[in-house]
Amino acid sequence: MIKFLKYVPVQLTFFLIIGILIGSFFTIKPFPLVLMASVITITFSIIHFYSNKLINQSLFYAVLVALISLFIGVSSITFKNNLNEKNHYANLSNFKTNENTLATLSIIKVLKATNYYDKYEAEIIQVETTKSIGKILLNINKDSIFPKLKVDEKIVVNASILELNKPLNPYTFNYKNYLEKQQIHHQIYIRNNQFLKLPNTRSTLIGIAANFRDKINYSLKKYGFNNDELAVVNALLLGQRQRISSDLLESYSSAGAIHILAVSGLHIGIILLILNFLFKPLLYFKNGKFIAGFLIICLLWSYAIVASLSASVVRAVTMFTAITIGMYANRPTNIYYTLVISMFFLLLFNPYYLFEVGFQLSYLAVFAIVWIQPKLNNLITPKFWLINKMWQLLTVSLAAQIGVLPLSIYYFHQFPGLFFVSNLVIIPFLGFILTVGIIVISLSLISQLPQVLADLFMFIIKQMNHFVDWIANQHVFIIKDISLSVFLMVAIYSFIFLFIKWTEKKQYYRLVLFLVSFLAIQSTLIFEKYKRESTNEIIVFNDYKTSILAKRLGSELTVYSSKDSLINNYAIESYLIGTGLKNNLKSKNSDNLYMFKNETILVVDSLGIYNFSTVKPTIILLQKSPKINLERLLKIHQPRILIADASNYKSYLENWERTCYKNKTPFYNTMQKGAFILKD
């Protein structure tokens, strides 16, 4: 491992990642970046020229290479950021948010639809009469009468370009941040009759691939594939998960088999084995190895294009391209080096991959399999072939789970206890499923698919779905709502790494480091408990058409709401997980008065009662659209701030805001500003 860490590409990749993180958190414009590079280059040239014999040359070049890699990382994300382009729509003089703008859009990707909107990733190619670039989120009201848009289709809209919605409650998923990492910074909402389609004059490679996938789906539907089976085929073989229902996706996630639905290293590895078998006869001819290797790489990348060049597919194909080159060039490849080199070039090509959960999980899983699986496999050596193969498969699943578990819990807050059962049953048959799937798709495209083969494949997919659903329903084995901070996650990874290093070679200093990592976990837990118990706050949540107020005193949370039940309420669940207060929740009916430190909060609901002569509220909370004279209320109580939650009518909110402005009273609308949090 130490030898691996000394490998130059490892060091280059490490500093490249540091540079990407610096460039992401500190917005740097291209010109200052070029200026900085020039200063660094000149400075180091002078140092090298005048101190050639006075400094350690190896150290000098090591520092120089590290700085260059760091600079490349900063540069890559700076120049990849479309907002730094002059012709980005947001940088145009005629661009304004929240105002109707005439824009021409080109559809890039069809996203997963919601209950109310069809969603698309689109490129703004023209604003008014000015050519432009820049991606945007397009939301179109669902309407079964109108056909959905396709990739490469161009439309003209006259609509408001809006800011992305920020999370309106603490610890909820930050969809705005997620989209910004995809270089999407604004959104548009329109109806199906509010845009004009333009004739499509050219098709991109991604558009051709999308049309090819549509053709595959159309041909499979003719043979009786229903929605669930077709959705799984699209995910397994075509890298498209948009069609999968939320319930089916949740089942695969709870069963620990979600990775099966993403075309990744597992799928590409199996496809590579199939291609190696098919092209084996070429090895007996002159230059056969070169031809076979070249054809395999071409087919792998063709498959990646059909799968829309998604991040997981590009990752896997890049990695297996390097492996294929090593195999057919008679050069043994070190899998660690292959992993690092593929990561380096992928991040160089698109530094935003670093922030994708799939990118992080996939590299952790593969690294863990390569490093940890042999150690687990050597613990037991079964004598029988079948048991030995099952043990190998189990150790692969265990190693991958060890690698991704802390990060997976950090992002998804759950642990599927029966993950090894899902993998032991499904993965041995995955190669067969992929092979049959490719045959089924190929024959269906030329209308030569025997119905018996189509029925067999549908039966296999259906049984796989049933099995996954059965595993997911074993709720006792699924640990949900786990709270894990980033500091605790890092401490756990350090613990795992140092423990395995100690088992490799039981040296005293390794044992000390391992014990220190264990103490780090305990210290983090103690600090987080102290922080949790010393936090006091009142939160007015933003919950559509509902009023929820919570009072937190240390590790106890009391929620006041008119709702009969708060079970599965997203805002409350997210807050409980984020704060680690899952088992300390009390629920009560709403009150009219709340005392918190030196603050008195008066709640005025639909009854409109607010004239309490014995109380002088400092904060007033309006709920459920009370019909009141707000000017009179403000004159009587003179609060320091007035809050209105999401249970009020929009027209009331607008009137109240004007009244507060007129009376110079701060107005806080949770639908615009998010949850109101008052700390002690």
Q: Does residue 597 carry a pLDDT above 70? A: yes
Check whether 106 has a pLDDT greater than 90: yes
| Per-residue pLDDT at 333 exceeds 70 | no
Confidence tier at 29 by pLDDT (50, 70, 90)? confident
450-495: pLDDT as tens digits: 999 999 999 999 999 999 999 999 988 888 888 899 999 999 999 9
pLDDT at position 44 is 67
pLDDT per position as a tens digit, 269-288: 888 888 888 888 888 888 88
Read off the pLDDT of residues 33-45 as tens digits, 9 standing for 90 and up.
Answer: 667 766 776 776 6
- Per-residue pLDDT band at 380 (split at 50, 70, 90): confident
CB 177 within 8 A of CB 192: no
pLDDT, the chain, mean:
87
Lowest-pLDDT range of 3-7, 303-307, 482-486, 646-650: 3-7
Q: What is the distance between the alpha carbons of residues 668 and 642, in angstroms, rounded to a whole number?
A: 6
* Domain 536-679: top CATH class: alpha beta
pLDDT at 499: 93
How confident is the model over 64-82, as pLDDT tens digits?
778 888 888 888 898 899 9
Q: Which tokens belong to 475?
A: 């709720």
pLDDT of residue 299: 93
Rounded Cα distance between 379 and 426, Å, is 24
Model confidence at 417, in pLDDT bands (50, 70, 90)?
confident
Which range among 7-21, 167-181, 590-604 has the greatest average pLDDT?
A: 167-181
pLDDT of 243 strictly over 90: no
pLDDT tens-digit profile of 621-669? 999 999 999 999 999 889 999 999 999 999 999 999 999 999 999 999 9
pLDDT digits (tens, 9 = 90+) for 533-555: 999 999 999 998 889 999 999 98
Q: What is the pLDDT of residue 50?
A: 62
Q: Higher-confidence residue: 258 or 137?
A: 137
pLDDT at residue 30, as a whole number: 66
What's the confidence (pLDDT) of residue 586? 81
> 């909370």: which residue's tokens?
621
Domain limits of the chain?
Answer: 2-80, 89-202, 211-356+415-480, 486-533, 536-679
Q: What is the CATH number of domain 89-202?
A: 2.40.50.140
Q: Taking the model in full, what pTM does it have?
A: 0.86
Contacts 24+ apart (CB under 8 A), 271-280: 271/300, 271/303, 271/434, 272/296, 272/300, 272/320, 272/323, 272/324, 273/431, 274/431, 274/434, 274/435, 274/438, 275/299, 275/300, 276/327
